[in-house]
Amino acid sequence: MMFSEELMRDCGADFYLHTYDDLHTILLDLCQANNVTIHYDKDVTHVERTQDGVRVLVCNGGKFDADVLVAADGRDSVLRSSVSEAEFHETANLTGLKCWVPFSRVAQDPELALLADENIWTGFLAPGFAFNISAFPQNDEIHLGMAYLPQDAPNVIPSFHTLHPSVQKFLELGKDTMVTGTFPEYKVEEWVGLGSRGILIGDAAHASTIYSTYNTSMSVEDGAVLAELFADVTTYAQIPFLLSAFEEIRQPRANTTSYTEYMRFLVLSLPDGPEKEQRNMALGATLVMKQGGDLDLGESEMLAETWSDFVQAYAYDSKLAAREWLQVWGKKVKEH
C-alpha cells in the first residue's frame, strides 16, 4: 500500500519508525531532563495499600511509598495482579519472529538492494504470514519482524518455502539472529485498583498486536492522557476520579485498536483464494496515486474499510481526548 502525501493528510498524523535502543534513549533522556529518579535491579516483591497511598516492597528489603502507583511493566506484568483483581482474558494468540542482517551486506546484494532503502517501510504478505522489513543504515542493521498464527510447536520456526525468494534469502542470512515467541491478545477488564491509588497502563493493561502498524504508540498515548489528566491535580481526593477517567477514556480506544489490528493481520495473511485476490486489488489501487491519479475508495469495499480503520487509528489525539473529558467533568473534580 502506497502511503502518498494525499493519503497521509487524511490520517492527520505522521509515521515514526525507531529501533528499540533509540526509543529507549529518547525516553531515558526525557526522564533525566525532568529529574526522574530511576532505580535499577529492584524487583518488586509486594504491593500494598497504605493509609496515605501505596507501598512497594522490593527484593533487597527496601520500600517505596507513593501517592499513586502507575504499573507500566509490560505484557508479563508482575504488578497486574496486585493492582487489578479483574479477570485476565486471553482472546487470541500470534507467534512473532524477529531477526536482523547487516545493512551493508544487504545493500551490496542486487537481489536484496531494494530492502536497503531507508525511506521505504517494506511489508510482505503471504498465506499465514504478515511481516515488515525496516532499514537502519546508521546502525548498519536491517530488521525483519514477522507475525504468524501459532504452529503445533510454538517455538519451532515454520517453513518459509512459500515466501518470495528474496525474503527466503534474507531469512537465511539472518538465521543466526532469529528469536521467536508467542504473544497473546488479551483484555484486562479493570485497570484501576489498590483503593483507587493504582493504575495499569501500556501493555500491562492492554495487548498490542505483535509487529502491527499501531502497537508501541498505544503506550505513548496512555502516558499522554495520564499526564494531561494529572497536570492540575491539587488534592488527594481528586486522584480516584482522574484514574477512573483514564480508564473511561483509554479502555474503549485500546479494545477497538487491538481488535482492528488483529483483524488487519488476518486480512494481510489470507490464504489463496477470492478474498486474497480482492485484497491485492484493493492495495494495488493505492499505487495509482503515486502515478498522479486519483484514488476512488468507492471502487473497493475492502479498501474503503481498511482506510477507514487507518484514519480512525491515526487521527486520534490523546491529549485532546483528555481535555474533552476535563471540559465536561473538570469542574466537578475540582470540588473534591
Q: How many CB atoms lie within 10 A of CB 107?
A: 16
pTM (2 decimals)? 0.85
The pLDDT, as a whole number, for residue 271 is 87
| pLDDT at residue 336, as a whole number | 85
Q: CA separation (Å) from 8 to 91, 168, 305?
A: 31, 31, 16
Q: Give the residue among 43, 126, 33 at the shortest CA–CA distance from 79.
A: 43
Spatial contact of 209 and 268, defined as CB atoms under 8 Å apart: no
Residues paired with 118 in a beta bridge: none
Q: What angle do CA 144, 147, 151 make, to 5 degrees?
A: 125
pLDDT tens string, the chain, 336 residues long: the values are: 555 666 667 677 777 777 788 889 999 999 999 999 999 888 999 999 999 899 999 988 899 999 999 999 998 898 998 888 877 778 778 888 899 999 999 999 998 888 888 777 788 888 888 888 888 888 899 999 888 877 655 566 777 888 888 888 999 999 999 988 888 888 898 999 999 999 999 999 998 888 887 788 899 999 999 999 999 899 999 999 999 999 999 999 999 888 888 888 888 888 889 888 888 877 776 665 544 545 555 555 666 666 677 777 788 899 999 999 999 998 898 888
From CA 310, how far away is CA 15, in angstroms rounded?
A: 12
What pLDDT does residue 242 have?
A: 96
Quote the CA–CA distance of 93 and 218 in Å, as a whole number.
19
Chain centroid, CA 178 distance in Å: 21
Q: What is the pLDDT of residue 203?
A: 92
- Distance separating alpha carbons of residues 46 and 79, to the nearest angstrom: 9
**For residue 268, what pLDDT is reported?**
84
| pLDDT of amino acid 177 | 92
C-alpha cell at 262: 488483529
pLDDT of residue 288: 59
Longest dimension (CA), the chain: 68
Provide CB contacts within 8 A for 157, sequence distance 6+: 97, 178, 180
Closest CA to 252 of 209, 161, 316: 316
